[in-house]
Amino acid sequence: MTTLSIFHQSKPEQAHTVVTDPEAIQNVLAEHGVHFDRWATRELSVEASQDEILEAYADEVARLRQNWGFQAADVVSLTADHPQKEVFRQKFLDEHTHSEDEVRFFVRGQGVFYLHFDDQVYALLCKMNDLISVPDGTRHWFDMGPEPEFTCIRLFTNPEGWVADFTGADIASRLPRYEALAGEV
């Protein structure tokens, strides 16, 4: 189940609010300019290619491109047997921002987006069918867990793709990781 856990940065060990209703999650995140949505499931094999995945969601991707001006879309997939899974996990675990919106749609699997607003951190455990758009300039990080299993469609306004500006803050190291939030302790 998709879950939004809200932490105060002075008490990062304990969520003070947990939300599981998708409409309530959408409303809470919208207050911070974050777009959250759920798309209908498509029957795709685990081995589906990037082209097959983009074709299956062509209408939704086209609508986002038209409405938000995205220039590029691709698919990223990571599995527990990937030889560089720890390197990839570490790459996204530090707080950073982007100069464009970060948009992810979970075709399969799950991961946690952490969004840092003022003195609150919103940890959104995204699951299959979840779409999140993190506004440019938003302090955030992503945790895919030690045994990642996910496939996401990514959309970009910058054709160069993912470019991060790391904040240098240590907040990400003080909050519960994926394992705790996904119930895999």
| Binding-site annotation, residues for Fe(2+) | 96, 98, 102, 140
CA distance linking residue 135 with residue 148, whole number of Å: 25
Q: Do residues 143 and 93 touch, judged by C-beta distance below 8 A?
A: yes
Annotated binding site for Ni(2+): 96, 98, 102, 140
Which among 147, 158, 155 is positioned nearest to 73, based on CA atoms? 155
Annotated binding site: 96, 98, 102, 140
Residues 6+ apart with CB under 8 A from 87: none
Q: Which residues pair with 6 in a beta bridge?
A: 17, 122
